[in-house]
Each structure stands twice: as structure tokens, then as C-alpha cells.
Amino acid sequence: MAEVEIKQENMVYGKSKLILPNVMHYCPGCSHGTVHKLVAEVIEEMGLEHDTIGVSPVGCSVFAYNYIDVDWAEAAHGRACAVATAIKRLHPEKMVFTYQGDGDLSAIGTAETIHAAARGENIVAIYINNAIYGMTGGQMAPTTLLGMKTATTPYGRDPKLNGYPYKIAQMLAHLDGVCYVTRQSVHTAANVRKCKKAIRHAFENAMAGKGFSLVEVVSTCNSGWKMSPVASNEWLEKNMLPFYELGDLKDNKE
């Protein structure tokens, strides 16, 4: 395909130069691509492309390192906050962030997440909550809503059988080491803009040494939810947001 030259004065939108030209493995309609874009833009706009080290999880975003052009460590399932802790302690001048899903950060990695937060590590955790295990084929996550059907809750999540979903953002917000906890989404253009501001604020906190920041992004998994992308956005608004309410849960100014 021939390159189309766009004059600078006609340019209304361009992708971040930190987004690599690799074909994304994410399903069309998935929130990951949008959040990746925002993270790349924030890194670029803050001028941190030579000073950022990312930690990718196990789950759909295991290959995050293929898409954003910074140094990356791929952590074992759930261990990203422990891996990031050491990187930041040994490189206090660097921007260190983790990018994790709900299974990674709030099921198998609960201990590593809570203790990195409690210690007040100067890192950012980007937390993609789509209420399902996407990579393994749509099983129940700790965040799966009551009544929600997944591969391991085929009749809907029943609290007697499967327990209740929980909100790790609320748990982290009361910890002294945590400076910023926010819950965002990217299902509308307005929400994408808000989410980007939140990511930037979290990154600024980490560079200023204010402590641990969590940016939860309530996300869609249209393949796992077995819906079209548009229907997923509607379902998210109708079902996810009443339980996972958007907004800042904590924002320490000092």
C-alpha cells in the first residue's frame, strides 16, 4: 500500500511514536489496545521514553512488550508488583509501571499487589478489570459479577458456589503507602480522555516519589463476554459500572 502523505497542518490525530508497528493480538473491540495507546502517549508526552521500564503480566496483556517501545520485563503470573518493586528500588530515577489484568493483579497476585502498595513503592499499577480471564478462554475472575456467565460459571456466578466479586481498589485506597487510586473506563471518547489524565497523574506521582498508584480501567472483553464490541460497551455501562463505580477513590495532594 502506498504511503499517504499528510501535511502537518491537516494532521488532527497521530499515533504515539512509542507504539510499535507490530500487529496487535487483541480482539477487535478489546479495551487493551486503547489503554496501551494512552500509556504510550503519556510516556511520550512526559519525555520518559528512555527512562521507563514496564512490567507485563500473564494474561491477555502478556505481550504488552510487543507494542510499546520501552524496556520491559515479563513477570510470572501475579508477580508484577514484586518484580517492579525491585526494578524501582534499584533504579529510583526510572519510571516503573506494571500492566496487569484482574486475574493477575487481584487473584493470583493479590499478596504481591497489596504489599507493594502497603510499602508505598513508587510505582504505578495499570489494572485492566474486564471481569473475566480472557487469555485462557473466559473463565471466572475474582471480579466476575454475580450472575455473570463464564466458562467456569456456566449457570452464572452464584455466591454460594463461587463466592462474591471484590474491589481491590477499595482495599488499596486505605493503605498509607498508596497515594492515588482511581477507577476509569475507555468505553466512550470522554472516558478515554479522563483515563489518560488519570494515567498521567499516576505517572507523575511515581516520578515525584509520592507512593503507590493504582489506575483501574473497567474494560470490555467482547470475546469472553460473547458480545459484539458495541454491545459490550453497552453491557459495561449497564452492568459493570453500577458495581465498579468510576472516579477517584483516593488522591493525596501532598
**Which residues contribute to the site for another protein (CB under 8 A)?**
49-53, 55, 62, 65, 69-76, 79, 82-87, 89-91, 94, 111-112, 115
- Whichever of 50 and 253 has its CB closer to another protein, that residue is 50
Calpha distance 81→57 (Å, rounded): 10
Check if the beta carbon of residue 130 is closer than 8 Å to that of residue 164.
no
Maximum distance among all alpha carbons in the chain? 61
- Whichever of 95 and 218 has its CB closer to another protein, that residue is 95
- Whichever of 64 and 221 has its CB closer to another protein, that residue is 64
Least distance between another protein and beta carbon 150 (Å)? 24
Least distance between another protein and beta carbon 54 (Å)? 9
Of 214, 228, 129, 130, nearest in space to 171 by CA: 214
Calpha distance 213→120 (Å, rounded): 9
Least distance between another protein and beta carbon 251 (Å)? 26
Least distance between another protein and beta carbon 170 (Å)? 20
Least distance between another protein and beta carbon 252 (Å)? 23
- For residue 89, what are the CA distances in angstroms to 53, 77, 120, 196? 12, 21, 11, 26
- Whichever of 70 and 217 has its CB closer to another protein, that residue is 70
- Whichever of 54 and 165 has its CB closer to another protein, that residue is 54
- Whichever of 42 and 236 has its CB closer to another protein, that residue is 42
- For residue 191, what are the CA distances in angstroms to 63, 194, 201? 25, 5, 15
| Block residue for cell numbers 510505582 | 123
Least distance between another protein and beta carbon 67 (Å)? 11
Check if the beta carbon of residue 182 is closer than 8 Å to that of residue 214.
yes
59: left (phi over 0), alpha (psi -120 to 50) or beta: left
